[in-house]
């Protein structure tokens, strides 16, 4: 089982920090920060359902809600990545399909690279946080694609291998949030 208690230990302080970033940056300028806060909240509620299911294993609703909430994190990470890059390069990409968004992030990172040198120091940290998160986001996206489109039970959202969930999703999300949150705390507001 993925250590859902660990998720609460990580996401509670990160949630508080992302709320500070959203408040500091203002709701007009958050451009991605709010998605990190939403991701943390979703992870905390999902972990709560999963922990509750351990204490009440006959209640299948808790397990189902946990699985649903654990599966929606990818959209928040992609939206946060797009929003953070938008701070440096005012580019709007109205793409709803996660794979297409991810594939568009790579050229956007290259295009944005031209503007990083003239961007304020804090904005550069955002760029490098997104740059570091892209490979991790790719692994997280791959796990979601395999869960949705393969017949391999290893990647199943509800009954897949815990090690796959841990190494292809949970840890990747932790690291991405750890990249983004300090970058947000250092940006001028």
Q: What integer pLDDT is reported at residue 86 of this predicted model?
A: 58
Q: Where are the domains of the chain?
A: 4-185
Q: What integer pLDDT is reported at residue 74 of this predicted model?
A: 67
3-state helix, strand, coil in the chain (%, to 5): 80, 0, 20
pLDDT at 160 over 60: yes
pLDDT at 149 over 70: yes
DSSP codes of every residue in 129-163? HHHHHHHHHHHHHHHHHHHHH---GGG-TTTS-HH
Task: Find the mean pLDDT for residues 147-151.
Answer: 77
Task: Find the mean pLDDT for residues 146-172.
Answer: 83
Q: What integer pLDDT is reported at residue 175 of this predicted model?
A: 92
User: How far apart, in whole angstroms, are the C-alpha atoms of residue 81 and residue 79?
Assistant: 5
75: burial class by Cβ within 10 Å (0-12, 13-18, 19+)? middle
User: How far apart, in whole angstroms, are the C-alpha atoms of residue 146 and residue 153?
Assistant: 10
Q: How confident is the model at residue 140 (pLDDT cuts 50, 70, 90)?
A: confident
Q: What integer pLDDT is reported at residue 27 of this predicted model?
A: 67
Q: What integer pLDDT is reported at residue 95 of this predicted model?
A: 28
Task: Find the mean pLDDT for residues 118-122.
Answer: 80
pLDDT at 19 over 50: yes
With beta carbons less than 8 A apart as the criterion, state whether 40 and 15 touch.
yes
Q: What is the per-residue pLDDT across 64-106, written as a single tens digit (0 to 9) for each?
A: 778 777 767 666 776 777 677 655 554 553 323 577 778 878 8
Task: Find the mean pLDDT for residues 36-64.
Answer: 84
Mapping DSSP to helix (H, G, I), strand (E, B) and coil, where does residue 93 land? coil
Q: What integer pLDDT is reported at residue 93 of this predicted model?
A: 35
**Residue 163 φ/ψ region, left for φ over 0, alpha for ψ in the -120 to 50 degree band, beta for the rest:** alpha
Task: Find the mean pLDDT for residues 32-44.
Answer: 84
Taking CA atoms, 128 is separated from 18, 29, 125, 167, 180, in Å, by 18, 19, 5, 23, 9
Q: Which residues contact 132 (CB under 8 A, 6 or more apart)?
A: 179
Q: What integer pLDDT is reported at residue 133 of this predicted model?
A: 93
Produce one character per residue of 139-172: b if its CB has 16 or more CB atoms within 10 Å, e if not: ebbbbbebbeeeeeeebbbeebeeebbeebbbbb
pLDDT at 170 over 70: yes
């Amino acid at each position: 089982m993925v250590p859902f208690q660990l998720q609460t230990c990580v996401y509670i302080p990160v949630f508080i920090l992302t709320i500070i970033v959203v408040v500091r940056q203002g709701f007009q300028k958050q451009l991605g920060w709010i998605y990190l806060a939403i991701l943390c909240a979703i992870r905390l509620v999902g972990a709560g359902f999963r922990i509750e299911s351990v204490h009440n294993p006959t209640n299948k609703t808790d397990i189902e809600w946990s699985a649903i909430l654990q599966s929606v994190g990818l959209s928040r990470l992609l939206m946060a990545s797009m929003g953070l890059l938008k701070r440096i390069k005012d580019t709007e990409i109205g793409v709803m399909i996660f794979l297409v968004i991810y594939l568009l992030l790579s050229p956007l990172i290259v295009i944005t690279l031209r503007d990083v040198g003239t961007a304020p120091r804090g904005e550069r940290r955002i760029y490098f946080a997104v740059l570091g998160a892209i490979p991790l986001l790719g692994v997280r996206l791959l796990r979601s694609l395999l869960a949705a489109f393969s017949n391999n039970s290893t990647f199943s959202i509800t009954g897949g291998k815990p090690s796959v969930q841990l190494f292809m999703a949970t840890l990747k999300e932790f690291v991405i949030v750890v990249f983004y949150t300090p970058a947000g705390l250092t940006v001028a507001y």
